[in-house]
Structure 1
Amino acid sequence: MTILFVADLHLHSGIPGIADGFIAYLRHRAAGAEALYILGDLFEGWIGDDGCGPFENRIIDALRQCSDAGTAVYFMHGNRDFLIGEEFARRAGATLLDDPTPIELEPGSPALLMHGDSLCTMDEEYMQFRAMTRDPEWQRRTLAMPLEQRQALAGQLREHSASANRDKQDEIMDVTPQAVIDIMAEWNVSTLIHGHTHRPAEHELTLPDGTPARRHVLGDWHADSGWQLRLEHGRLTLERFTLSALTD
């Protein structure tokens, strides 16, 4: 049994090499796996399922081929593609997941899956933004806008985010250690898997009851490389790989 976890590909037409690499990944790495979990920010931006163009449709078709071949595909919203909806999931053959979502890596071994942005509680400005954009009523009003207005709004939000982040200290944009402890204790898990921070690593920690725990942080993809967390034979392994090495 092989289960794969990825996040933070930030796919967009301006860097086609990452999209090409991801499609090759679906065909040659995800093919044959029991499941593929995409933990947010698959796309750099998403203005609604009705805004798909040739670039987005190509990714959706590749996901569908992977799903039809027998790999269960799961998708969790990120801070860039939180407007992905049921139509995307239907076309891609994917299942939308809540954030957070508990799963069993194997019988008796629970883990918690998250995008990771909700753990960055020291970034108060971002947490306010997140609360606004995840509000169902805000999303309903936004999706009711004409496509051109949504495109303009997405550009404004990206510009504001880039400007705000330039002045923030690195530790503010990382997860808050106590938030990690609290969420793992709340869900009674000793394994947490998330992305968002672009700081791939495996962290050892101890829960309040003395239980040893581990936090696996997925890396972001670039034009020449990608990251995955692989579950095989009961062992989780964080791996970086070269996209050009994926045969297509």
Structure 2
Amino acid sequence: MTPLRFDTTRAPVLFIADLHLDPQRPAAIRAFRHFVETRAPSAAALFILGDLFEAWIGDDAQPADDPVAPALAALSAKGTPVYFLAGNRDFLIGPAFCQAAGITMLAEPTWVEIDDEAVLLEHGDALCTDDTAYQAFRAQVRDPEWQAGFLAQPIARRLEQARDLRQRSGEAMAGKPAAIMDVNAAAVRDRLETWGVRTLIHGHTHRPAIHHLDLGDGAGRRIVLGDWFEQGSVLRIDHGTARLETLSFEG
């Protein structure tokens, strides 16, 4: 399949992840809308690498007054394509939401070409291989049969289960060492070697940084996107330079 290709000397490419948008956090939603209305329209593309929402229990449960899909649809209508791959909070986003938001769903992982360089994109949770309990849970909820069974339940029941899962997840995280919830270095190296790339962009860990890697046969990079809890976080690749930028929730 022909990859998406971008020349950042013409226009920048933007990446965000881990917004965890929720009606209980209106400041984050306002910041997101301001971003897509004022900064994203000048980009060649916007990539959302998972966890756009705090939780997603199915396209049929989307509130009628949700402002996120219309904001993304307006951005797409202005000529900036929006690409999305699922995270561990919103892996049940489906075709109906994507159509309403005017976004394109990507497989995970996926690779794109930026300034003639192959760049691998993923959410990042699959790389946290030291957390074996989480990986078992991930395999369960990503199973198509499990998803079909979950989506077949009434919305009220799904909401109840989602709340229970979030509570148990929070309790489990509280008892784990921080290191176990970060990516595994060997898993990162294996991913880069398998795909034949030198740059990986991901989110999930909420630890924004640009890591420079020694791949043995040359240098590599692992770029980690930040979350949107206290402020916004954007990766901007412009004229071949990658920069992590923060956005204030104050406007």
**How does the TM-score come out when normalised to structure 1?**
0.95
Report what 2:103 is aligned to: 94
Report what 1:157 is aligned to: 165
Q: What aligned pairs does 1:179-218 form with structure 2 within 5 A after superposition?
A: 179-208=187-216, 210-218=217-225
Q: Which of 24, 38, 52 is the aligned partner of 2:62?
A: 52
Report what 2:52 is aligned to: 42
Cα deviations by residue, 1:75-118 (Å, 9 ceiling, x for unpaired):
110000110001110010000011100000122x0000010000
Report what 2:239 is aligned to: 233
What CA distance in whole angstroms lies between the structure 2 residues aligned with 1:241 and 1:20? 11
Q: What aligned pairs does 1:75-90 form with structure 2 within 5 A after superposition?
A: 75-90=84-99
The 3-state SS of whatever aligns with 1:63 is helix
Q: What is the RMSD computed on CA atoms of the aligned residues?
A: 1.0
What CA distance in whole angstroms lies between the structure 1 residues aligned with 2:249 and 2:79? 23
**How does the TM-score come out when normalised to structure 2?**
0.94
Report what 1:114 is aligned to: 122
Q: Which moved more, 1:40-49 or 1:230-239?
A: 230-239
Report what 1:25 is aligned to: 35
Cα deviations by residue, 1:177-230 (Å, 9 ceiling, x for unpaired):
00000001100111000000000011111224x22000000000124x111100
Structure 1, gaps ≥5 residues long: none
Superposed structure 1 runs of 4+ greater than 2 Å apart: none
Identity of aligned residues (%): 48
* 1:87 alignment partner AA: A
Q: What aligned pairs does 1:114-133 form with structure 2 within 5 A after superposition?
A: 114-133=122-141
Kindly tell me the number of residue pairs found equivalent between the two proteins. Answer: 241
What CA distance in whole angstroms lies between the structure 1 residues aligned with 2:29 and 2:64? 12
The 3-state SS of whatever aligns with 1:219 is coil
Equivalent pair of 1:32/1:70 in contact (CA under 8 Å):
no
Cα deviation for residue 28 of structure 1 reads: 0.6
Report what 1:145 is aligned to: 153
Cα deviation for residue 21 of structure 1 reads: 0.6
* 1:238 alignment partner AA: L
What CA distance in whole angstroms lies between the structure 2 residues aligned with 1:244 and 1:73? 25
The 3-state SS of whatever aligns with 2:243 is strand
The 3-state SS of whatever aligns with 1:66 is helix
Structure 2, gaps ≥5 residues long: 1-10
Cα deviation for residue 54 of structure 1 reads: 4.0
* 2:84 alignment partner AA: F
